[in-house]
Structure 1
Amino acid sequence: MPDVDKAMIADYLTHSTATAEKHYHMKQGGYLIRSLELLDELRRHDDSEEGPSSRAHPKSRNPRMDFEKEWNNFSREHPVTVDGKVPSLVHRAAVSQDSQRKLYERWLKKQMKLRIQHAAAQFPRRLPTESRVAGWISKQGWKRNIPSASKILEAWQPTGDFQDIPTSAAIRKLVSSQRWKGLVISHIEGKGRAVLTTRSFKAGEVLCDYHGEVVTSDQTHAATSLKETDFMFFYKNGAGEKFCIDAHLDKCPCHPDRETFGRLINHSRKRPNIRPHLFSLKFESGERDVLLFMAIRDIKAGEELLFNYGVNRKNYCGEGLDLEWND
């Protein structure tokens, strides 16, 4: 740097009575601008000698944004999948040596979430038992990053379309065996028998079916008494034909060892928590109509199951008008 430039910078930076006369020249615009330009040149010269690593400006960087960019690049090259293997250290370090551990942890976390969702979806309309979920997990061939059955049950929600219910092997098995879990027959004072829950159920979950013999409405009226019709469910199938599920027997011939739940569920027009839905299910003996009760809201353990029979107090012709539970 020429001596004249050095003197100009010294004059600019020095403030003393000895240089007061020279400061007069600093008030001149050209002198001042030239001094600032020289200082800026010196700063840039120093930066170039120190190298890029020494020019970090914390305020100009956002570590989180930098990592998100690294993650986006990494996940495009190594997408998270249910059955995928976690990318190796070499692949992670190729994206970022400093962030390779964070990339590893996020990839595993996202795969865990994906696996839990995938596992829960395998049981669409009925909460499975923990042993059943554990059995399903053991068949997946996963060697690491394996979700626990309890975590899957915590995340479980009823899923799937109504049209998929007839294809559910679990629902068909429960209809055939009548081993519906989470329900108990109890006696309520002033009301008689009722069906209560022993666990919570989620909205959209199947609780049980209205089990009995499927007959035509003409066969029902010809063969049963008025009292027995209290345990009959009349409906029309998809073709508009009138049928009935006859459940007037305490124990049906196909399950003589147990009372079925559906026939004992009481009526409520104002406070129903379940609703019947008609499906056609295929069994080894052939296809038949099945009425499944599904929760219309979340149901707590200890609640009584209630559905709207489609009747009101006037249907009793004066009988039962003092029974509030008919509402």
Structure 2
Amino acid sequence: MTNNDEQFIAIGRRTISMELEAVQKLLDRVDSDFARACQVMLACSGRIIVVGMGKSGHIARKIAATLASTGTPSFFVHPGEASHGDMGMITAEDAVLALSNSGETSEVVTLLPLLKRMGTPLVSMTGNPESSLARAANAHVNTGVDKEACPLDLAPTSSTTTALVMGDALAIALLEARGFTAEDFAFSHPGGSLGKRLLLKVKDVMHSGRRIPEVTQGTKISEALLEMTHKGLGMTSIVDKERKVVGIFTDGDLRRALDKGVNLRKTDIDDVMTSHCKTISPDILAAEALKIMDDRKINALICVDADDQPVGAINMHDLLKAGVV
């Protein structure tokens, strides 16, 4: 019986150590068989159908989800349900990735003649290269372990971990082979903060039109402050006669001017503005704008067109509100 903290810690560390050792041994199995499995899956013109029973089924679901989110269309089919109608979800254009630690799981093996008849390519992932499933496959990936982390050597532990890791290795190999990009990934994850970071552009969140804070050269500081207060972005752009941006005036510039005792009603904005300020295109990603702000330790940016005329303004609060930060 285990009932004290030291024993719990020892068991936890032993389990992790055993699983680490099992994963480490996978390195030698990423070989020509692994490459063949990648080629079969890459050549598939349909979807990758991942199947597995029990704990292998849980791992298979995760692998299918990882494949689908990294550029390889995929979904999970329960092998038991496949024998009762769901085989109709699999076509000759698809490829099947079948998981079974023993390689003899009856519900999975039952599907083999049907897949052969349909001409559907099969990749197997088992712990037994001599099993029925491994021998029937077009490509086999060995994920076998010497011993489960379970002290009874019964509960799937190390074996499910190695299958999960190998599934990730397949998915990432295919991702790189397909030239899958961060933007492609974002299209698969449009609802979360990751999608916003990768898809949202500055023009989607910037203040534009009459909402752009803007004053001309020669404007007194007091008048510029009224513009800043009215637009509420904590800054204003300064433009010349051709409406090209020549500088920016921010809350920070105001504090520095006050420290110097500058007369706000008599001093031109030109004397206290930040000249040659950083500007951005409205077509860049909002995440890029965030990085620029972080790198330069600033809180606002002016967006300009090809003629350096202001077309928008954005501050850190806008990025926070949009969920980019």
Smaller-chain TM-score bracket: under 0.3
Which protein has the larger Cα radius of gyration, Structure 1 or Structure 2? 1
Report which of the two has the higher share of helix: 2
TM-score (norm 1): 0.27
